[in-house]
Structure 1
Amino acid sequence: MSVSVTPLAPKPRAGGASLDVLRFLAAGFILLFHFSESAPRPLSDLIPVLRQGWLATDFFLMLSGFILMRAYGPALAQQRFSPVSFVIRRVLRLWPSHIVALLLMLLVVGLATLQGHPPGHPEKYTVWAFWEQLILVHGWGLSDTPGWNVPTWTLSALVVCYAVFSLCAGFVFRWRRSALITALVVVLALALAVAAIIGHPFVDLPFRFGLVRALPLFFIGALMERLTTGLAVSDRVYAVGMTLSGLIVVGLASLPRHTLSDLIILGTLAAALVLSAGISLPETLLTRRLGRSAYALFLIHSVVGGIALGLDGMLVHRFALPEPLHWLSWCMCVAAAIASAFVFEAWVDRPLSRWVTARLTGGVKAEA
């Protein structure tokens, strides 16, 4: 008599589902922040935390360092590929879809201008700004004004983060806990000192100082990953910790700005990142799609907003829409941006990523 054995389902990856969802929520926060002023009433008046657009950007930068250390730290430590190879692979993961989104933005701005509706801030849409953005150097402090697809300054800054990370990740990966803690304190102290010299809070330094902001945050995330490697979080601890983190962030972000509250918020975001990386939740098709579409939402929401919010404004002006209908129209713009992100991921970002991966040899996949 034969006995059939049902194979055990693979154990969920720590942080697999939770980090995917968190990444999408961060992209969604950035979307709402950028769409806020076009709502019937500014969302920041209704939800004060939305005044703090830096929250999601800083979290995104820390998350990037955290994930890169988890995914590539061992390989860099073991010298399975060179720093140059690593940087090329990472840039090729970001650049093709970025180019498509930028060209779509050029098309939208060009057609609108030809139809007699030029952009409200033409200084943001210069030829020089376009070329800076095309080659991903627009976040390196070469100009004062962000333009075109504004959120992508962080991608430009990440290129530099990747280069520095590729040179030092192998050493950091072998550091003991005391050295990691010391490095974390030094990085934060240096960041605060430079921000004090500039005369602006570190967490939302002006565009020209994007690298000064991005590099410390990226490496704070990378160091946090090494400090908490192997940490397992129970469902109860995760639920309580994330609830408290949310309350702290929303509460402090709703109060007048202060350096101390900014640092507490930053620390709370880091804690939420660690909690999410330590919980093993079941991965589903939805969580995987959310994780993959987060980058697409980050890239494409400004392009879709340029079209949808423009039409929304025309409808309100032409038909004098009452506030409830204006809210409905605005919500449809948000929904259109989210839906477009899923379409962009499936039809543009994923095929381009696979195409690049197929042409890279050995080691690390570009789509990771």
Structure 2
Amino acid sequence: MGKRPPLPGLRLDKRHFNALDLSRLLAACAVLFWHYQHFFVPPVEFHFNVNRPKVSPFYHELWWLFDYGHVAVQYFWAVSGFVFAHVYLADEGARGRFWLARVARLWPLHLLTLGLVAVLQATYSGMNGTEFIYHHQDMKHFVLSLGLAHYWGWQADQSFNGPSWSLSTEIVAYAVFWLLLPGLRRSPTVLALTAAVMALALFFRKAPDGPVFTCIGYFFGGAAVYGAALRGGLRTGVLTVLAAGLTVSAVWMGRSLHWEDGATLAGTFAALFGVLAIDTADRSDRLAAARHLGDASYGVYLWHFPIQLGLVLLIDSVLGSRGIARQPAFLLFFVGASVLAGFASHRWFERPAQRLVLKLAGRRRAAGAVAA
């Protein structure tokens, strides 16, 4: 039986968003700069403030990455909402395949890096009497991490492969998207925007489990942008004006009001609109070379902390001092190694693992059909 044609009016004619793909890789790299300060955290059992301007190479040129690279996580969430709307709204059979596709895509690499970090953290703890950066390395947090449920409100704090906390919150956003999918097909912009506003309102009002609500808000904000695009409301000129206006708003909220959350929200969607403006202007597909660069972003994001922890163990054992991390060449090495790991992981582990999971699931369904 052939694949069903897409549902009418629910998918943009532009199949690939090349600039958006490239932006995912750049966002993953931004997180690396924020986490670079980990190299300068000594073996302590409490939060340690790093003087980033003093120790970070290229700080004066790239201060905005070292100080604000963490907000790339919110951008990831917004992009995910846009991409999910693009992929699933027009797919009539999406709800039946949704969770299998998510498991096949996310869990293999998550489980691999989780196990690796557990081993590396045990080694670090054995050498120093405490854990590196993320101190909750117990059975409770390990079990929660297995199911990507380790940032749903039951946790004491980030644990094991700490950056995966954002994936944990995104699983909840996926669940809400799956539940709302029939309604989103009828009214994608209104329903997605309503979900985004409600979730962000709970976050801004300091509701419990704020990270989960933040993720849902940004995710459905991205889905609402896609809904508006379906109605023809997001042409290049409109996107450019929106990007510029939100950029000014973000700077004003950050510098004048000192409202970091509001500045992050405005800046995130300014970046999304700006990237989409580039994509809509690229009618001849001149950015096609960037099409698959975003595939490495998941690997870069999950591999960079185990790489960092491995480097710290090596430096502490061989050199005894982490002063080498102040060298520009070391920063370039860390970022380059993480990016290469992302590409290698996608090609030689993530894609084969994804195919294997889907193949095993297909065999199980076939066996069940025969038994029935």
TM-score interval (norm. to shorter):
0.7 to 0.9
With CA pairs under 8 Å and 6+ residues apart, which has the higher RCO, 1 or 2? 1
CA RMSD across the alignment: 3.6
Q: Are the counterparts in 1 of residues 150 and 165 from structure 2 also a CA contact under 8 Å?
A: yes
- In 1: Cα distance, 2:317 partner to 2:330 partner: 11
Cα deviation for residue 278 of structure 1 reads: 2.9
Structure 2 gap ranges (5+): 1-12, 41-53, 364-372
Q: Are the counterparts in 1 of residues 240 and 273 from structure 2 also a CA contact under 8 Å?
A: no
Residue number in structure 1 paired with 2:55: 41
Superimposed CA distance per residue, residues 247-292 of structure 1 (whole angstroms, 9 cap, x where no aligned partner):
75995697473155344323313423532553443465x5244221
Give yes or no for the alignment of 1:193 onto 2:201. Answer: yes
Give yes or no for the alignment of 1:99 onto 2:99. Answer: no
Q: Are the counterparts in 1 of residues 173 and 216 from structure 2 also a CA contact under 8 Å?
A: yes
Cα deviation for residue 353 of structure 1 reads: 1.4
Specify whether residues 249 and 120 from structure 1 end up closer, same or farther in structure 2 by C-alpha distance, changes over 3 A only.
Answer: farther
For 1:257-276, list aligned pairs within 5 A: 257-258=258-259, 260-276=262-278
Specify whether residues 114 and 244 from structure 1 end up closer, same or farther in structure 2 by C-alpha distance, changes over 3 A only.
Answer: same
Q: Which moved more, 1:272-281 or 1:47-56?
A: 272-281
Q: Are the counterparts in 2 of residues 18 and 276 from structure 1 also a CA contact under 8 Å?
A: yes
Cα deviation for residue 158 of structure 1 reads: 2.1
Q: Are the counterparts in 2 of residues 309 and 333 from structure 1 also a CA contact under 8 Å?
A: no
What secondary structure is seen at the aligned counterpart in 2 of 1:125?
coil
Q: Which moved more, 1:41-50 or 1:148-157?
A: 41-50
Residue number in structure 1 paired with 2:161: 149
Percent identity for Structure 1 against Structure 2: 21
Specify whether residues 218 and 345 from structure 1 end up closer, same or farther in structure 2 by C-alpha distance, changes over 3 A only.
Answer: same
The aligned amino acid for 1:166 is W
Residue number in structure 1 paired with 2:351: 350
Superimposed CA distance per residue, residues 287-310 of structure 1 (whole angstroms, 9 cap, x where no aligned partner):
244221111111111111111244
Cα deviation for residue 227 of structure 1 reads: 0.8
Specify whether residues 282 and 25 from structure 1 end up closer, same or farther in structure 2 by C-alpha distance, changes over 3 A only.
Answer: same
For 1:328-347, list aligned pairs within 5 A: 328-347=329-348
Give yes or no for the alignment of 1:308 onto 2:324. Answer: no
Specify whether residues 223 and 273 from structure 1 end up closer, same or farther in structure 2 by C-alpha distance, changes over 3 A only.
Answer: farther
Alignment TM-score, normalising by the size of structure 2: 0.75
Q: Are the counterparts in 2 of residues 15 and 278 from structure 1 also a CA contact under 8 Å?
A: no
Q: Are the counterparts in 2 of residues 62 and 221 from structure 1 also a CA contact under 8 Å?
A: yes
Match 1:60 to one of 48, 67, 76:
76
- In 2: Cα distance, 1:152 partner to 1:24 partner: 16
Cα deviation for residue 316 of structure 1 reads: 6.3
Cα deviation for residue 218 of structure 1 reads: 1.0
The aligned amino acid for 2:88 is Y
- The count of residues paired between Structure 1 and Structure 2 equals 331
The aligned amino acid for 2:305 is S
The aligned amino acid for 1:151 is P
- In 1: Cα distance, 2:231 partner to 2:353 partner: 33
Residue number in structure 2 paired with 1:164: 176
The aligned amino acid for 2:311 is A
Cα deviation for residue 347 of structure 1 reads: 1.8
Q: Are the counterparts in 1 of residues 25 and 296 from structure 2 also a CA contact under 8 Å?
A: yes
Alignment TM-score, normalising by the size of structure 1: 0.76
- In 2: Cα distance, 1:209 partner to 1:171 partner: 25
Q: Are the counterparts in 2 of residues 109 and 119 from structure 1 also a CA contact under 8 Å?
A: yes
For 1:269-284, list aligned pairs within 5 A: 269-276=271-278, 278-280=280-282, 281-282=285-286, 284=288
Q: Which moved more, 1:115-124 or 1:247-256?
A: 247-256
For 1:92-241, list aligned pairs within 5 A: 92-115=104-127, 118-121=130-133, 123-175=135-187, 180-181=189-190, 184=193, 186-198=194-206, 208-229=209-230
The aligned amino acid for 1:69 is A
Cα deviation for residue 71 of structure 1 reads: 0.5
Residue number in structure 2 paired with 1:50: 66
Specify whether residues 328 and 242 from structure 1 end up closer, same or farther in structure 2 by C-alpha distance, changes over 3 A only.
Answer: farther
The aligned amino acid for 2:223 is A
Cα deviation for residue 183 of structure 1 reads: 5.2
What secondary structure is seen at the aligned counterpart in 2 of 1:217?
helix
Q: Are the counterparts in 2 of residues 233 and 278 from structure 1 also a CA contact under 8 Å?
A: yes
Superimposed CA distance per residue, residues 327-351 of structure 1 (whole angstroms, 9 cap, x where no aligned partner):
3223222222222222222221121
Match 1:292 to one of 295, 313, 324:
295
Cα deviation for residue 32 of structure 1 reads: 1.4
Specify whether residues 319 and 133 from structure 1 end up closer, same or farther in structure 2 by C-alpha distance, changes over 3 A only.
Answer: closer
The aligned amino acid for 2:218 is L
Q: Are the counterparts in 2 of residues 32 and 50 from structure 1 also a CA contact under 8 Å?
A: yes
